Amino acid sequence: MPLFGNSFSPKKTPPRKWASLSNLHLLDRSTREVELGLEYGTPTMHLAGQSLKFENGHWVSESGSFLGDRRELQRLRKRNQQLEEENNLLRLKVDILLDMLSETTAESHLMEKELEELKQHNRRKK
């Protein structure tokens, strides 16, 4: 038994052979639909009273393009812009506060160092 070595070192396991139990991946889409009855429709969802479906990589309203209430859309865009501006202002304030904290911390460390030097200098005189 080694003093400083690892007393437990198991053998490495051999890699597993990849074997799928299902042959579904071998069938093309039309065969899968016929054989298994898997008909995939377009994905749909209901959000805020709107029914949306996913077509050609975009979410589109069931009735065509998203028309919605233009005033509501405009209000939401304006609110979004206000929130982004507020967020930017708050980030700026946080940066300023962090700078102030860093400056105060540095000054505090310098004062502590000076105080310690004065104490040592005072002890040497006595």
Domain ranges of the chain: 25-61, 69-126
pLDDT exceeds cutoff 90 at 105: yes
Higher pLDDT, 54 or 8: 54
pLDDT in tens, 11-57: 788 877 766 666 666 667 777 676 666 666 778 888 877 788 888 88
Q: What is the predicted pLDDT for the residue at 86?
A: 98
Q: What does the angle CA 64 – CA 54 – CA 75 come to, to the nearest 5 degrees? A: 60
State the first-to-last Cα distance of the chain, in angstroms, to the nearest integer.
62
Q: Which residues contact 67 (CB under 8 A, 6 or more apart)?
A: 61
Chain position carrying tokens 């998203």: 66
Count other Cβ atoms within 10 Å, centred on residue 60. Answer: 14
The overall pTM is greater than 0.85: no
H/E stretch holding 91: helix 70-125
